Amino acid sequence: MNAVPLDAPYLDTDADQLCFSLDLTERPALAERVVPLGGLDVRLRLLGASHQVFAGPVAETVACLHGAVKGLPETCTRHLPGWVYDFGATTRRLTPEEFSAEVARVLARATGAEHSLCGVFPGSPEAVTAVVVEAVEGPYGAAVVWRTWHTYPQNGQIVSTHSRLEAR
């Protein structure tokens, strides 16, 4: 799937502004895609330089949230009725050359994936939010795994997240 040009200003200016929530309802989306995987309708949603993924009992939001604690957890595990959800996040600051090369890899991976949603913001072809989702086999059966990338060209930061939802 090709990257979607997003008709919105790039507002999140630093990775440190991102927050994590599993309790939010839908936020206004700039782009959305529903992917049927592993018996679930997985909803991929781009919100500015942020994302939401709705899959089964999980409503994952990584976004700038007013009044929320800033920063993303390195890891988070939630045991939900019949499910286990794992989340992890990393933030890297790269040189301009490294940043451009990594954004190119993210765009290639997202646009080459069967199930993805990728948005590029006006003002910089390297201002990208991307989500890639796939079904995998886990020890208890099928699981759904998604990765996201949020890029900040003005300071060379890339936030990567990895989530897994597995039926138990």
What pLDDT shows up at residue 10?
Answer: 61
Please report the pLDDT score of residue 9 as a whole number. Answer: 66
Strand partners, 85: 78, 165
Q: pLDDT per position in the chain (168 positions), as tens?
A: 678 888 876 655 678 889 999 989 999 999 999 999 988 999 999 987 799 999 999 999 999 887 777 889 999 999 999 999 999 999 999 999 999 999 999 999 999 999 999 999 888 899 999 999 999 987 777 799 999 999 999 999 999 999 999 988
Which one-letter amino acid corresponds to residue 7?
Answer: D
Q: Does the global pTM surpass 0.95?
A: no
pLDDT at residue 138, as a whole number:
73
What is the per-residue pLDDT for 12? Answer: 53
